[in-house]
Amino acid sequence: MNMMTKPTEVDLAADDLPLMLPGRPAMRYDFPKAWRHFKELVKDKENTAEVFPIFEALPWRGAYDAAKAFLSTERGQAIRKSEPSLVKILDDHETLRLTPKGSLAHAYCDFMEREGLSAQGLVDDLNKYRRADQFFDDQVTWYFNRLRDTHDLMHVISGFGRDALGEQCVLAFTYGQQPALAHLFLGYAGALEISKGRTVKVPVFRAVREAQKMGGTCPRLVEQSIRELLARPLDEVRAQLGIREPHYYKQCHSLWRANGIDPYDLLGHKQQALKAA
């Protein structure tokens, strides 16, 4: 079986799909590489091309073991065969909307449509930075795809928005789920950037730390039946996963708004655009 074909060309639910092909790179830290790319990212925070190398340099070192452990169980194999592609499930809003109002599926569709996002869009963005030798036709790829495809679902389940602080909190929450050092590094580095030069004192770092703890106590989302979760009421899903309303994140938003600051526009880009208009 070819190790370099794209995942979309492979039936990830196939019975004969290898568990893990040889040739996968070792999960090692490369701190100088991470620092080089982080310095470039600081110069231009919109340059997402610098993010992917940081994750390569600061990976989740236990990722292979976690994937193989889950896929060695009957439950893991049952979920792999019933949910070979989360992208197809998550981007089928017409089917998701057939679930009862108040479900995770409705909340997810509302979030994605409001933000102009799609699961396939995230795949396309990340694939721009992947080399041909980074695609493997094995079951571990299926597991890794789910780590990627549950990102926006984590926003909805955790209650963290796509504002600057919300994104740092989701990074920290994700570290609790899949402890790649890059998640923690970028989450707290982003929190530091948010707190710089602020005249209004808000608990930014407490919010990020709270998110990290939430992710650590929540069962690994990638190892849940996403179809089953989507069909259930959002409140029920959060209760099952032990996710409570984020206290410090909400407090930050309240304090910012009380001082005339839009949490979704901390740098004032919206105000500048309005003035220019």
For 178-220, what is the HEC assignment? CCCHHHHHHHHHHHHHHHCCCCCCCCHHHHHHHHHHHHHHCCC
Mean pLDDT of 106-128: 93
The answer as to whether 2 is a domain residue is no
What is residue 27's DSSP assignment? -
Specify the range with the lowest mean pLDDT, choosing from 5-9, 17-21, 99-103, 224-228.
5-9
pLDDT of 275 over the 80 cut: no
Q: Does the pLDDT at position 4 exceed 50? A: no
pLDDT tops 50 at residue 152: yes
Give me the chain's average pLDDT, please. Answer: 90
Residue 9's pLDDT is: 67
pLDDT of residue 63: 97
| Share of the chain residues as helix, strand and coil, in percent rounded to the nearest 5 | 65, 0, 35
pLDDT of 175 reads 97
pLDDT of 41 > 90? The answer is no
What is the number of domains present in the chain? 1
Q: What is the arithmetic mean of pLDDT over 142-148?
A: 96
Q: Is 113 helix (H, G, I), strand (E, B) or coil?
A: helix
Share of residues in the chain with pLDDT > 70 (%): 92
Give the pLDDT of residue 42.
Answer: 81
- For residue 180, what are the contacts with CB-CB under 8 A and spacing of at least 6? 55, 58, 59, 60, 63, 174
In the predicted structure, residue 94 carries a pLDDT above the cut 90: yes
122: Cα within 13 Å, side-chain hemisphere:
20
Structural domain that includes position 166: 7-276
Q: What is the pLDDT of residue 80?
A: 98
SS3 state of residue 233? strand
What pLDDT sits at residue 268? 57
1 lies in a domain? no
Q: Is residue 178 part of a domain?
A: yes
Q: Which of 209, 210, 211, 200 is nearest to 253 (CA)?
A: 200
Residues 6+ apart with CB under 8 A from 232: 103, 104
For 24, phi then psi, to 5°, come to -70, 140
Mean pLDDT of 127-147: 88
Whether the pTM exceeds 0.85: the reply is: yes
